[in-house]
Amino acid sequence: MNDVQNKRDLRNIKLDEAGIKDLQYPVTLLDRQNEKQKTVALISMSVELPHHFKGTHMSRFVEVLAGHTCEFNGRTIPAILAELKQVLDAESARITISFPYFLEKAAPVTGVTAKMNYHCTFYGESGLEGEDFVLSVRVPVSSLCPCSKEISSYGAHNQRGHVTIDVRSFPDEDGIPVLVWIEELIEIAESSASSPVYSLLKRPDEKYVTELAYDNPVFVEDMVRNAAEKLMEDDRLVWFQVTAENQESIHNHTAYARFEWERN
């Protein structure tokens, strides 16, 4: 059968990316407490397409994925990217794996437990400039406004928001990024806010969380700086970015702050 994708294209335009997006796929992840966790991810994969190829072979992306064990981390992703470059005759390849990550979370007073989900993403890239791997974790939090607390005779407005932490870690002796646990980034994000968010709270827990937030007012700027201080102390990290967003409860907008840092 004719291989149409391999036919020569005469427009002399190299494409930065060509591939597949939003493939739902079962994945297995490293879990600090339970060793492994199974979930379902949305996966996007692409390669750079040379100017002389008419198209890439879309089926080969799934074939490469199916040939691996569905276990994704900083060690397995480079192997997938290397195979993509080989089978698709490409100089660079990218993969994005987005997934819900679940933790068993206990309420602060009663101890009742329920699953809490966090949105996480692995970004992997391999090209002429080398290998890249970024872990991103988006954590729901609660914040209480310091200004509202200061100027009000009683009470203060609070809101739910998110702290997103993206990190790159140094490579080990094999060139693989040093492991940073998802749970570690969750703990940093939650401790940087007024209060964590829970899936299940009883009345004693609600009282505790409300008072905890009142005693720890923070702006989005505070949350970013609080997280950044902790991350800068981590010798494993070569780069990070922290973003905080508040879905304001008394304004018709979202408050936002961001900080990016790279180790010299």
pLDDT digits (tens, 9 = 90+) for 175-208: 899 999 999 999 999 999 999 999 999 999 999 9
pLDDT value for 139: 98
pLDDT value for 49: 83
pLDDT value for 102: 97
- Residue 42: helix, strand or coil by DSSP? strand
- Say whether pTM exceeds 0.85: yes
Residue 70 has pLDDT above 90, yes or no: no
- Residue 89: helix, strand or coil by DSSP? coil
Residue 172 and residue 149 in contact, taking contact as beta carbons nearer than 8 Å: no
CA 44/CA 29 separation, integer angstroms:
17
pLDDT value for 7: 59
pLDDT in tens, 102-150: 999 999 999 999 999 999 999 999 998 899 999 999 999 999 999 999 9
CA 168/CA 241 separation, integer angstroms:
9
pLDDT value for 1: 55
Q: Report how far apart, in Å, the C-alpha atoms of 253 and of each of 135, 242, 256 are.
A: 28, 20, 10
CA 40/CA 26 separation, integer angstroms:
4
What DSSP line would sit under 182-198, residue for residue? HHHHHHHHHHTSSEE--
Sequence letter at residue 147: C
Residue 191, both tokens: 């401790």
- Residue 227: helix, strand or coil by DSSP? helix
Give the rounded percent of residues in the chain with a pLDDT score beyond 90.
76
How many C-beta neighbours within 10 Å does residue 185 have?
Answer: 27
Residue 194, both tokens: 């007024």
pLDDT in tens, 205-244: 999 999 999 999 999 999 999 999 999 999 999 999 999 9
pLDDT in tens, 76-98: 899 999 999 998 888 999 999 99
CA 108/CA 237 separation, integer angstroms:
30
Residue 158 has pLDDT above 60, yes or no: yes
Q: Which CATH number is 74's domain given?
A: 3.10.270.10
CA 155/CA 144 separation, integer angstroms:
10
b/e per residue 229-255 (b: at least 16 CB within 10 A):
ebbeeeeebebbbbbbbbebeeeeeeb
Residue 182, both tokens: 């998802």
Residue 4 has pLDDT above 60, yes or no: no
Could you give the number of structural domains in the chain? 1
Per-residue pLDDT band for 51 (boundaries 50, 70, 90) equals: low
Mean pLDDT of the chain: 92
pLDDT value for 174: 86
Among candidates 260, 232, 76, 237, which has minimal Cα distance to 169?
237
Q: Which domain holds residue 150?
A: 4-262
Per-residue pLDDT band for 74 (boundaries 50, 70, 90) equals: confident
pLDDT value for 3: 53
DSSP letter, residue 174:
T
